[in-house]
Amino acid sequence: MTMLLQEESNVIRDMELDNVRRIKKLLMISVTGTLHIHALRLIRRELGLPEDFRESILAKYSSEFELVDLEIVKLINRDGVDEGLKVAEVEKWREREYREKWLSEFETKYAFPINFPTGFKIIAGFKGKLKDWQRLPYVKPYERKEVFRASTCGGIEQFEKRAVGILHELLSLTVEKMVEVERLAHFRRDFGIPVNLRELILKHPGIFYISTRGSTQMLFLREAYRKDYLVSPNPVYVVRRKMLDLILLGCRSTRELDSPRQVKESVGDQNRGAVVESDFVTSILENLDDNNDGNKENGEDTAAVYREEASAT
């Protein structure tokens, strides 16, 4: 285990420029261009930052970051950052949907990947509401235009969708696409999302996934996992996966750990849209009421819904 911990430390050091990029993107999401260092420290492990990130990154890259009152970090020259940093991860998915599945821009411009768990049942009429929500415009995480007011027509839905977009991007920036729910509260004011985050998350089970380990609730980005593997493994995830395998080794019949190559190759064998299933992930949907089955139907993924509508028109 000591060797794996050292390997993790080395990998994190090698990803220094990636860590600079992550912090810059988080500061760009902030409505003021600032973040409390304490908040970053709380999700340091999730972001893959070194323990001494304040000195090794924030102080080292003084041309990019400014320390204000020692406890707040500010992005210097916010308007002059690379345009590529202003592209949210979901935008890349939208581009693929538009290009590869021949979906219209109207259908993809504000849509999110939706992957309901196997066996998830929804009431009649839900598909129509989902289509309307997918088409609903919102102020994207890196846009600086005025945010929709909750008092305007459709303002609440658009305001909440912006919060969904920010949570989606935050999770996309983490190395394992997960973060502790309780720690999200430290970003609410800086990100401009004064909403009940738990309620918001539970309203979107096709996008987010909550698991419970003891008294800790972890929020996962559903699309990022197939079975219990990350779809796009990164070096930090691979070494942490080896740590997990080592911990679970005593409970397995095998005597060998999965190699990094096996971890990556196994991802390709997983079915798209499957539920994240592992010892430490418990679905929030397991106890859904199954009554009135005659008025319910199985959920469909976003692309299938769009294709059905396109054929009808």
Same-domain status, 204 and 294: yes
List the single range of 49-53, 201-205, 239-243, 253-257 with lowest mean pLDDT: 253-257
Per-residue pLDDT, 257: 53
CA angle 68, 73, 77 (to 5 degrees): 95
Per-residue pLDDT, 81: 85
Is pLDDT of 151 > 80?
no
299 in a domain, yes or no? yes
Same-domain status, 141 and 281: yes
Comparison of pLDDT for 101 and 109, the residue scoring more: 109
Q: Where are the beta strands (DSSP E) in the chain?
A: 34-36, 65-68, 72-75, 121-123, 178-180, 208-213, 216-221, 225-226, 229-230, 296-298
The one-letter amino acid code at 220 reads F
Same-domain status, 37 and 155: no
Measuring CA to CA, which residue among 102, 121, 120, 103 is closest to residue 111?
103
Per-residue pLDDT, 36: 96
Average model confidence (pLDDT) across the chain: 80
Residue 68 pairs with which residues in a beta bridge? 72
Of the residues 55, 80, 105, which one is the last residue of a structural domain? 80
CA distance 110 to 136: 7
* Residue 179 near residue 39 (C-beta atoms within 8 A): no
CA distance 19 to 49: 6
pLDDT band with cut points at 50, 70 and 90 for residue 150: low
Same-domain status, 96 and 139: yes
The one-letter amino acid code at 176 reads E
Mean pLDDT along residues 59-82: 91
Mean pLDDT along residues 178-192: 94
Residue 114 tokens, joined: 């939706």
- Does residue 157 sit in helix, strand or coil? helix
Structural domain boundaries enclosing 145: 87-231+270-312
Same-domain status, 76 and 161: no
The dihedral sign for the CA sequence 271, 277, 283, 286 = positive
First to last CA, the chain: 59
CA distance 275 to 281: 10
Same-domain status, 169 and 300: yes
Same-domain status, 92 and 76: no
Residue 78 tokens, joined: 């916010």
Residue 46 tokens, joined: 């999730």
Per-residue pLDDT, 149: 55
Of the residues 80, 110, 127, which one is the last residue of a structural domain? 80
93 in a domain, yes or no? yes
107 in a domain, yes or no? yes
244 in a domain, yes or no? no
Same-domain status, 111 and 76: no
Mean pLDDT along residues 278-295: 34
Per-residue pLDDT, 304: 42
Give the helix/strand (H/E) hosting 220.
Answer: strand 216-221
**Domain total of the chain:** 2
Same-domain status, 283 and 177: yes
Comparison of pLDDT for 235 and 249, the residue scoring more: 235
List the single range of 124-133, 184-193, 204-213, 260-269 with lowest mean pLDDT: 260-269
Query: Are β-strands 72-75 and 225-226 bridged in parallel, bridged antiparallel, or unpaired?
Result: unpaired
For the ranges 13-27, 239-253, 273-287, the maximum mean pLDDT occurs at: 13-27
Same-domain status, 76 and 98: no
Of the residues 35, 65, 80, which one is the last residue of a structural domain? 80
| Backbone Cα Rg of the chain | 20
243 in a domain, yes or no? no
Task: Please write down the long-range contacts of 221-224, taking CB distance under 8 Å and 24 or more positions apart.
Answer: 221/168, 221/171, 221/172, 221/177, 221/178, 222/113, 222/115, 222/276, 223/93, 223/113, 223/115, 224/171, 224/172, 224/177
Per-residue pLDDT, 77: 87
Is pLDDT of 103 > 90?
no
Return the DSSP state at 281. B
Same-domain status, 301 and 166: yes
Is pLDDT of 42 > 90?
yes
Same-domain status, 153 and 118: yes
Is pLDDT of 275 > 90?
no
Comparison of pLDDT for 310 and 230, the residue scoring more: 230
For the ranges 194-203, 254-263, 275-284, 291-300, the maximum mean pLDDT occurs at: 194-203
pLDDT over 90 percentage in the chain: 53
252 in a domain, yes or no? no
* Residue 273 near residue 225 (C-beta atoms within 8 A): no
Query: Which residues 6+ apart lie within 8 Å of 153 measured at CB?
Result: none
